[in-house]
């Protein structure tokens, strides 16, 4: 009897199942411990996969994966980091002015205690500060920075291997589940929806953040100093991040901003309302109407219901924290495709064929 014909007995299957379950528990614990990193890696993978597929036509898989990340993910992190540093640089000098307003929500004193400031203060008055306290504070900031960097590196590596070996993984899954099975149809529909959602999200955040940076700084060049935007880079980043949530887009940022500027102009006789009104028109056109009406439909195509996506981003962030921005849409896509393909035949006891049998217009179809 060959090894292919050997079938384990009932007594042997129990310990084998035990090994499989123990290994599954260990892997599940590892994924749970780094769930934010893995979800961010999935987001990066789907966000850059359309670029990878174009490069994969002319380059080997490894070279295409490396070049894709070099051209997309790494510059995106670099620009986001630069925007964050510039925004913090703009915000830091003004934090003390807004301390009474922010103190119930943010520890302003902790934000203002920077290692550089402590070091300068030590040079000016050595008897007041100790080198040990400065080193301890610098180590805390270094620990936070290294933790963020490690998570970004791990997420990028995870996305790299998904890009590099994605074709083999799909072939293995098709052979394991059967390319005509309901499981394969469900997984393929989820795969298509995630690419559409994440890729369109990456583009929209980047486009709107850059456009907001241009609009806010351009406004400050034209408007009187009294009607200037206080920290334009911070608000530009916030406007771009607001694009994560459909329908909301930049309204949550530029409407309060215009209201504040309009109130300042209305209560100051020598100032004109023309500048806040002009800013409102420009923001509505270039940060809201044109991206949502013309850009998003072109890059998103047919996707999940916009209202459901909005709740996925909001509720995901409230329930899971920062990585809920990426995990919420993932759970939504998995749930919507389960309803479209699996739920009805399971409830009524019919054969699960992998065909879409309800909510035909709410997501991508399997091949």
Tell whether the model's pLDDT for residue 156 goes beyond 80: yes
Q: pLDDT at position 348, please? A: 84
Tokens representing 214 are 């241009």
Task: Decide which of 295 and 212 is more confident.
Answer: 212
Contact 42, 160 (CB under 8 A): no
By C-alpha distance, which of 317, 343, 352, 342 is closest to 331? 317
Residues 315-332 have a mean pLDDT of 83
**Residues 6 or more apart from 55 whose CB is under 8 A from it?**
63, 64, 67, 68
Q: What is the pTM of this model?
A: 0.72
2 to each of 6, 8, 9, 11, 13, how far by Cα in Å?
Answer: 7, 13, 16, 20, 19
Res. 115 pLDDT band, cuts 50 70 90:
very low
Res. 280 pLDDT band, cuts 50 70 90:
very high
Q: Which residue has the tokens 């934090």?
A: 95
Task: Decide which of 139 and 262 is more confident.
Answer: 262
Angle, alpha carbons 280-99-265 (nearest 5°): 30
Tell whether the model's pLDDT for residue 128 goes beyond 70: no
Q: pLDDT at position 351, please? A: 84
Task: Decide which of 21 and 311 is more confident.
Answer: 21
Tell whether the model's pLDDT for residue 256 goes beyond 70: yes
Q: Roughly what angle, to the nearest 10 degrees, separates helices 274-284 and 251-267? A: 170
The neighbour count for residue 317, using CB atoms within 10 Å, is 18
- Cα–Cα distance measured from residue 3 to residue 7, given in angstroms and rounded to the nearest whole number: 9
- Cα–Cα distance measured from residue 327 to residue 194, given in angstroms and rounded to the nearest whole number: 11
110 to each of 56, 97, 100, 137, 326, how far by Cα in Å?
Answer: 48, 15, 14, 11, 29
User: Minimum mean pLDDT among 6-15, 47-56, 156-165, 355-364: which range?
Assistant: 6-15
User: Minimum mean pLDDT among 9-23, 235-249, 345-359: which range?
Assistant: 235-249
Q: Roughly what angle, to the nearest 10 degrees, separates helices 131-177 and 115-124? A: 170
Tell whether the model's pLDDT for residue 137 goes beyond 70: no
Task: Decide which of 296 and 256 is more confident.
Answer: 256
Residues 295-303 have a mean pLDDT of 59
Per-residue pLDDT tens over the stretch 343-352: 888 888 888 8
| Dihedral sign computed on CA atoms, order 325, 329, 334, 335 | positive
The neighbour count for residue 262, using CB atoms within 10 Å, is 17
Tell whether the model's pLDDT for residue 153 goes beyond 70: yes
Tell whether the model's pLDDT for residue 110 goes beyond 60: no
Q: pLDDT at position 90, please? A: 59
31 to each of 35, 41, 319, how far by Cα in Å?
Answer: 5, 12, 18
Task: Decide which of 129 and 25 is more confident.
Answer: 25
Task: Decide which of 46 and 310 is more confident.
Answer: 46
Res. 105 pLDDT band, cuts 50 70 90:
very low
Residues 79-102 have a mean pLDDT of 59
Q: pLDDT at position 88, please? A: 61
Q: pLDDT at position 319, please? A: 84
139 to each of 117, 133, 136, how far by Cα in Å?
Answer: 15, 10, 5
Per-residue pLDDT tens over the stretch 68-87: 888 887 777 776 666 666 65
Tell whether the model's pLDDT for residue 296 goes beyond 70: no
Residues 243-265 have a mean pLDDT of 81
**Residues 6 or more apart from 265 whose CB is under 8 A from it?**
227, 271, 272, 273, 275, 276
Q: pLDDT at position 179, please? A: 79
The neighbour count for residue 255, using CB atoms within 10 Å, is 14
């Amino acid at each position: 009897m060959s090894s292919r014909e050997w079938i384990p007995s009932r007594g042997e299957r129990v310990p084998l199942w035990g090994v499989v379950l123990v290994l599954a528990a260990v892997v599940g614990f590892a994924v749970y411990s780094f769930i934010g990193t893995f979800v961010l890696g999935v987001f990066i993978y789907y966000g850059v996969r359309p670029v990878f597929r174009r490069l994969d036509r002319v380059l080997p898989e490894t070279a295409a994966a490396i070049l894709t990340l070099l051209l997309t993910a790494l510059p995106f992190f670099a620009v986001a980091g630069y925007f964050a540093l510039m925004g913090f640089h703009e915000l830091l000098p003004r934090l003390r002015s807004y301390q009474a307003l922010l103190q119930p929500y943010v520890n302003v004193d902790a934000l203002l205690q920077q290692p550089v400031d402590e070091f300068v203060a030590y040079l000016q008055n050595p008897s007041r500060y100790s080198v040990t306290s400065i080193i301890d504070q610098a180590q805390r900031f270094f620990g936070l920075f290294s933790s963020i960097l490690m998570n970004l590196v791990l997420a990028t590596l995870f996305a790299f291997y998904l890009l590099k070996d994605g074709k083999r993984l799909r072939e293995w899954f098709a052979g394991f589940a059967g390319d005509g099975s309901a499981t394969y149809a469900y997984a393929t529909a989820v795969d298509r929806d995630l690419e559409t959602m994440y890729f369109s999200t990456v583009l929209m955040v980047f486009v709107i953040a850059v456009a907001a940076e241009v609009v806010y700084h351009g406004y400050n060049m034209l408007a009187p100093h009294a009607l200037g935007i206080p920290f334009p880079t911070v608000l530009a980043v916030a406007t771009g991040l607001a694009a994560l949530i459909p329908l909301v887009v930049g309204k949550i940022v530029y409407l309060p901003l215009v209201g504040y500027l309009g109130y300042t102009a209305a209560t100051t006789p020598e100032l004109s309302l023309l500048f806040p009104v002009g800013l409102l028109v420009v923001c509505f056109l270039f940060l809201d109407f044109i991206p949502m009406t013309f850009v998003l439909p072109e890059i998103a195509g047919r996707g999940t219901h916009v209202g459901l996506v909005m709740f996925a981003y909001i509720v995901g962030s409230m329930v899971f924290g920062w990585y809920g921005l990426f995990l919420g849409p993932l759970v939504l896509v998995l749930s919507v495709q389960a309803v479209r393909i699996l739920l009805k035949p399971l409830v009524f006891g019919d054969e699960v064929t992998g065909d879409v049998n309800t909510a035909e217009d709410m997501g991508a179809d399997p091949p």
